[in-house]
Amino acid sequence: MLEGHVELERYNRELETAFLAARNAGKQIISQRTNSRAEKSGLELKTEVDNLADRTIKRVIAEAFPNDSILTEESGFPQSPAERLWVVDPIDGTTNFINGLRAYSTLIAFVDKGKLVIGVSFLPQSQEMFWAVDGEGAYKGNTKITVSQMADIGKASIVLDPGYHPQGVEKISDAWGKLRPNVGNVGVLNAIMDTRYH
């Protein structure tokens, strides 16, 4: 943890809990990777590993903060949400995970009285931890991440993600056609993963 940062000190327990929950889920995801069978849920793919990681994260958070509410992609919204809310996606990029690609992560956010104050993104394959605390910037491990200083759009990299919307690919295709002549590079992949490296 970095010293001398007011919000980091204020939310240190929450941040450490998010780190622990993400790492524990990551271990489970890696250990179960070869056992992952996918089932379709609406427009998304789900695996039993999603559910196992979900339960692991909820257990870690509940042990540290038993009165907090937890909203997860797998189990939905709590019946009576508290002022302190955790938002979890145990495997962001399930399709990539199922297909053996590295581009997936565990996402955990903490909201205090309606304000998003912590965001954590853990990459199980590379063991990289990306995180941010409101007012304190974003970090990869203990190294602060800075916004690109690229001022020339003609040299900039743009990342597009079609998401799960039925017309997503069509919209991305249109956007690609409009952007491509004017920017340095246009990429399409898992946007959460891509933006961490561009």
3-state helix vs strand vs coil in the chain, percent to 5: 35, 30, 35
Beta strands in 31-154 (DSSP E): 38-41, 44-47, 69-72, 84-92, 105-112, 115-123, 128-133, 137-140, 143-145
Is 108 part of any known ligand binding site? no
The C-alpha atoms of residue 32 and residue 12 are separated, in whole angstroms, by: 30
Is 134 part of any known ligand binding site? no
Is 91 part of any known ligand binding site? yes
In the annotated binding site for Mg(2+), the residues are 73, 89, 91-92
* Residue list for the binding site: 73, 89, 91-92
